[in-house]
Amino acid sequence: MDAITSVVDSRALGLSCLDDIKSVAATMSSAQTCALCIMRFLQVPAGPEYLSRSLDDINQALGIEAANPSSNPPTPCPVCLSTLDMALVDQIVVSFKEQGYDATTAAISIELPKSVYVRHRSMQVFLKRSNAQLGSATPTDLKEVIKYMVCQTLATELGVVGDMDSGMRIDIGYSHAASANDHQFLIDREGSSIKTKTFRKHGVYHTTGDSKTAVLSELDLCHDDDFESRFACPPPAIAQPATVGSLVFKRAPIFIGGRYLKLERNISQTPFFVGERRITELSIADVVGEPIKALVRCDAYNLVGSGREDADVRMLGDGRPFYVECINPRYALVKPEQIRAIEDQLVSCNSPVQVRRLQLICPEDTSIIREGEEHKTKHYCALVWFSSPLSQDKLDEINACGKQSILLQQKTPIRVLHRRAPLTRERRLLALELLPLNDKFYKLRLESEAGTYIKEFVHGDLGRTTPSLADMAGVTADIIELDVENVSLDFPPAAAQ
């Protein structure tokens, strides 16, 4: 335990010998200050000295065993509000463990009650009376010490290493209701820079303007004498210690990419509701997202497709690229074979939705889906009906025309006008082929740029799409069934496989 006194730079603090250190410790201890806060005010940097589970050991090393004997429960520290209590650190680590994250690193952020800053100032003013140099010294930051204690415990108990760049966040907020108004005198002070506003929201009064930054800057403006006349020095005792008021664990999302096939009609890409009523029974997002959610234990998920087909359109061929964003996953270190097992499971249960090339992808790869939208082309196959059979000449003419690209002018279709802005878009058909099946039914194969409204190209949408297949044929045309046969976008990226 000599380690503690040996890491105190007594000369920097204006203390000449060990006895001086002990005398400071005794002074602070007489004001119920905890041993860890005494070490902080003696500028012991965040380190192993703070992790002693026996405060008696620390007290003894500082020669203050008589002044502040350990009691059960111990007297709460009026400086740190007992936020340095090892029991709180253990509570945080146990809660984290219960969540079951497979994270190997974590970034910790801490929010302290504002009264802590007022109480630190109070202790500094108090210390200045006995030692001006010590009172002016900046104590080791409370947050740094808490962070150190939490990180070390996480590392020892769970092998989780502290890393500010980690995607695993642990946000700790301490509360202490009894000292919540400690900083009120700073607001009431004449010429105070803190301007608060009180407003009512949902029947509850809220105050803004007295942020931590505002309190700290007003504390800077308040001279010692003025401070001392308005707030007790040393800080007044407290009956109850601070508690962990909020503890939020949040992990960066992970992304699982692949291609989906939709082998039956009337399946939407995402759950489709009109008002409260669910229109399609199944959605791609449900079929693919639920097993992924079960695998990575995320809070929620979003499926993002590279475009989407209508619910009554099948998605065949090599499938449509998509990714699933998994929010706050407990497991991010999933193995490729665990992900591929989802593909097999959908095959074995004969699901009308199948997935291919399912794999973990980097967050950057999701941009391929979002930006690929403009560049990709799609192959379709449709069953088309004409009001009267086409002559061979007409059929040849249409197919000759379809060997070159055809520029379409498409006004926003009537069927989507309720949710999309009315405008005219240009889209290109790259290839078109019409094959007769019988008198009035034809198979239409075509390749188009992304975003082409295929149904409207066939029937013309009351003249809103020009040219249309109906225009070209000179008779009424309608689309009976539509399948997407290929989406030409290389995704997921080969390198990620």
Residues forming a β-bridge with 107: 169
Rounded Cα–Cα distance for residues 152 and 134 (Å): 29
In 3D, which of 485, 363, 384 has the Cα closest to residue 443?
384
310 as an active site residue: the answer is yes
Structure tokens at 227: 């401070």
Q: What is the largest CA-CA distance in the chain?
A: 111
Rounded Cα–Cα distance for residues 109 and 172 (Å): 6
**In the complex, least distance from residue 280 CB atom to Zn ion, rounded to whole angstroms:** 59
* Runs of H (alpha helix) within 309-453: 336-348, 366-372, 392-401
39 versus 284: smaller Cβ distance to Zn ion: 39
Number of neighbours of residue 21 by Cβ within 10 angstroms: 22
| Number of residues located near Zn ion, criterion CB under 5 A | 5
Rounded Cα–Cα distance for residues 316 and 335 (Å): 28
**In the complex, least distance from residue 35 CB atom to Zn ion, rounded to whole angstroms:** 8
Which residue type occupies 449? E
- Note whether 146 binds Zn ion by CB under 5 A: no
135 versus 258: smaller Cβ distance to Zn ion: 135
Q: Count each helix (H run) and each strand (E run) in the chain, helices first.
A: 17, 20
120 versus 251: smaller Cβ distance to Zn ion: 120
Please report the DSSP string for 428-447 in residue order: EEEEEEEEE-SSSEEEEEEE
**In the complex, least distance from residue 37 CB atom to Zn ion, rounded to whole angstroms:** 3
80 versus 326: smaller Cβ distance to Zn ion: 80
Residues forming a β-bridge with 386: 477
**C-beta separation of 122 from 28 below 8 A:** no
Candidates 32-40, 99-107, 203-211, 327-335: pick the segment binding Zn ion (CB under 5 A). 32-40
In 3D, which of 199, 235, 220 has the Cα closest to residue 115?
235
37 versus 368: smaller Cβ distance to Zn ion: 37
What residues contact residue 98 under an 8 Å CB cut-off, 6+ apart? none
Helix then strand then coil, % of the chain, to nearest 5:
35, 25, 35
- Give, as ranges, the residues between 34 and 93 that touch Zn ion (CB under 5 A): 34, 37, 77, 79-80
**In the complex, least distance from residue 40 CB atom to Zn ion, rounded to whole angstroms:** 8
**In the complex, least distance from residue 60 CB atom to Zn ion, rounded to whole angstroms:** 17
Structure tokens at 132: 């001006």
Residues forming a β-bridge with 167: none
**In the complex, least distance from residue 36 CB atom to Zn ion, rounded to whole angstroms:** 6
What residues contact residue 88 under an 8 Å CB cut-off, 6+ apart? 82, 174, 242, 243, 244
232 versus 430: smaller Cβ distance to Zn ion: 232
Q: Indicate which residue of 20, 310, 318, 478 is catalytic.
A: 310
**In the complex, least distance from residue 80 CB atom to Zn ion, rounded to whole angstroms:** 3
29 versus 448: smaller Cβ distance to Zn ion: 29
Which residues contact Zn ion (rule: CB under 5 A)? Answer: 34, 37, 77, 79-80
Active site residues: 310
